Every structure is written in C-alpha cells, then in structure tokens.
Amino acid sequence: MQIITGKTKLLGVIGDPIEHSLSPVMHNAAIKALGVDYVYIPLGIKTEDLERAIATLGGLNLEGFNVTIPHKQRIMQFLDEVSPLAKRVGATNTVWRNQQGWSGTNTDVAGFLAPLKELERNWSEIKPLVLGYGGAARAVVEGLSGLGCQGIRVVGRNLEKLALFQKEWSQVEVYQWSDLPELISASELLVNTTPIGMYPQVQESPLDDDLVKSIQPGAIVYDLIYTPRPSKLLIQSQKQGAETIDGLEMLINQGAIALEIWLQQPVPVEVMRQALLNYLQI
C-alpha cells in the first residue's frame, strides 16, 4: 500500500460529476510503478464554484491537475498561461504550476492521435469523416489537421451549430446526417465523436445497418467511446472488414502525456493501460 505522508505531492482531476472518472485509477497505478511520492485525487467542483476553487487550489500544495467535463472550456479564463494548442482547440485538460500561477494545455489531441500514428497510412491522401461537432470533435479536427489530412468533413444534425463550427474551423467542410450515404463510401477514416452507443445505450450506433454496409474494407473506424469496448459501431465496422480503434487508447495516452508534464519523466503507459483494463474488467 502507498504511504501518504506530509511530503507527498498532490495531483488530481477536477470535474462535475467526478465519481466516474477513470483518471485516478491509471494515474495512481503509474505513480506506484514509478515509486514517486505523489498521489492523484478526484476533486468534485461545481461550475458555479470553479473560479473560487482555482484560486484556492493555487494556495494548496497541488502540483497539477486534469480538467474534465464541464470545466475544459471555462477554466481557460482562470489560468495565467494557456498553450497555443489549447487556445486553438478551445479546451484545456491539463494544468500545472508556473512561477506566476497555473499553465494549461490540451493533451486530448495527442492522445487521440497516438493510436493513429501506429498505423502506416498516407494521411495527406485521407479525407476523414467526423461525426459530431462537440468538444471532442474540436480536439479530433485539430489532431487530424496536424496529421496532414486534407478535406476533413464534419457531420452533424443541427445546421446552426454546423455553421458555427465551420466558421471557427475554416479547413473543414460540414454536412448533415442525411448526406452520410455518399460520404461514408468515400471515407477511409471515420471518427465518431458523438456519445451514441455509450453505456448504458449499448444497443445504439450512429450508423444503421444500411449505412454501415457503405464502409469500405480496410477503412479505419475510430470510436471515441470506451464503454462498452467495443461499441456497437465498432462491432458493425469489424464485420465490414474495417480496422477499428476504440476510445481507451485516447484516454490512456492523454493521461500519460499529462503525467509526463507533471513528473518531467517518462511514464509507464502499459501500467496505466493494464490498470484501466483490470478496473473495467475487460
């Protein structure tokens, strides 16, 4: 058992609700494996308390923290320094101390890209199709642009929100859900950033069986959902001969990159992966 003393350094995650966060599981497993004197704790902070909480955290011996729903956007105004990447995405999920106060960045982008970078593809020739235009989609579009993908297409159900998304991300083309039949057959990379199919709605999929038939064998289907694993979309896509990626690798890698920032040393990604797999019993 880890012994926490007065010298133990604190890390954590802020969000609301925080009860279901998987971050303490993987971070504390890595901390234990590294033998460093840290502990990572969940901190439930309500939206209306965020500003006060950040000021208070500054006065505690907290070395850094992750930020999850619903604070990823709003926290940026309370930080002393925000990385250009986090500004482009419009969301910060990792915060650490600087000399003045707090610095923040976004590790979701690199976490999303980690499993794609394992694949041999000519990314500049791939036109990705992204389902959804919410917070995660912003990290995905930033990541895909950085990877060199051209002609990123974003699909959503609300015309107004689609128009807003495109105004901010001029490099994307936006489409409605009804355009999917033509789009899917031409897509070598499909990314689901909607929560459709997430536990407990495990029987749902963003694509019905007819649409799934348009997925080309060898296409990559990446679902950001990690519960269940695989999601219905990934089961459907596997039957079509697609290469599938679930959201667990993104979760692990965004966490590993954050821990590297705090500890300033390489971290055991495999330990973090195994801790999550054991905890989720998958």
Q: What angle do CA 107, 110, 111 make, to 5 degrees?
A: 80
Is 37:7 a contact under the CB 8 Å cutoff? yes
Distance in Å, CB of 1 to ligand NAP, minimum? 29
Nearer to ligand NAP, 66 or 194 (CB): 194
Site for ligand NAP in 123-182 (CB under 6 A): 132-137, 156-158, 161
Closest CA to 263 of 92, 96, 110: 96
Burial, 101: exposed, middle or buried (Cβ in 10 Å; 0-12, 13-18, 19+)? Answer: middle
C-alpha neighbours within 13 Å on the C-beta side of residue 179: 16
Q: Cβ-closest residue to ligand NAP?
A: 134
Nearer to ligand NAP, 8 or 227 (CB): 227
Report the C-alpha gap between 264 and 207 in whole angstroms.
Answer: 42
Nearer to ligand NAP, 12 or 115 (CB): 115
72 is catalytic: yes
| Amino acid making up residue 174 | V
Nearer to ligand NAP, 15 or 35 (CB): 15
Which member of 7, 32, 46, 72 is catalytic?
72
Q: Give me the phi and psi of 276, to 5 degrees please.
A: -70, -45
Site for ligand NAP in 61-90 (CB under 6 A): none
Closest CA to 253 of 34, 67, 107: 107
Total residues at the site for ligand NAP (CB under 6 A)? Answer: 23
Site for ligand NAP in 204-243 (CB under 6 A): 224-226
Over the window 243 to 282, marking each residue x when it contacts ligand NAP by CB under 6 A and - when it does not, the resulting string is ----x--xx--x----------------------------
Closest CA to 53 of 64, 41, 42, 45: 45
Q: Which residue has the tokens 């999920």?
A: 93
Distance in Å, CB of 257 to ligand NAP, minimum? 12
Q: Does residue 102 touch ligand NAP according to CB under 6 A?
A: no
Which residues of the shown chain bind ligand NAP in the complex (CB under 6 A)? 108, 132-137, 156-158, 161, 193-196, 198, 224-226, 247, 250-251, 254
Residues serving a catalytic function are 72
